Amino acid sequence: MRRLRALRQQLNRDPEKDQEYLVTTLTVDRQKKWMEHQVRQKELGTCPIMPSTNTIKVR
């Protein structure tokens, strides 16, 4: 995260580079938010991708 913050500071100074990196930084932000969402769902026991170990699903 420290590197991403440093990159964003550099991009704020240079608008041309900012346009080049725009898609990449948006993708990283989306991945980070998605992973945080998956962790929250796992804690609640509602995540189909990362099932919680403290719940038992009965068919």
Using one digit for the tens of pLDDT, what is the confidence trace for 27-40? Answer: 767 777 777 877 77
Residue entry with tokens 């991009």: 11
DSSP structure string for 1-59:
-HHHHHHHHHHHH-HHHHHHHHHHHHHHHHHHHHHHHHHHHHHHT--SSS--TT-----
Percent of the chain with pLDDT over 90: 0
Q: Is the pLDDT of residue 49 over 80?
A: no
**Residue 8 has what pLDDT?**
79
Over the range 22-39, which residues count as b (16 or more CB within 10 Å of their CB) and which as e? eeeeeeeeeeeeeeeeee
Q: Is the pLDDT of residue 22 over 80?
A: no
The mean-pLDDT minimum among 16-20, 25-29, 40-44, 52-56 falls in 52-56
- Single pTM value for the model: 0.33
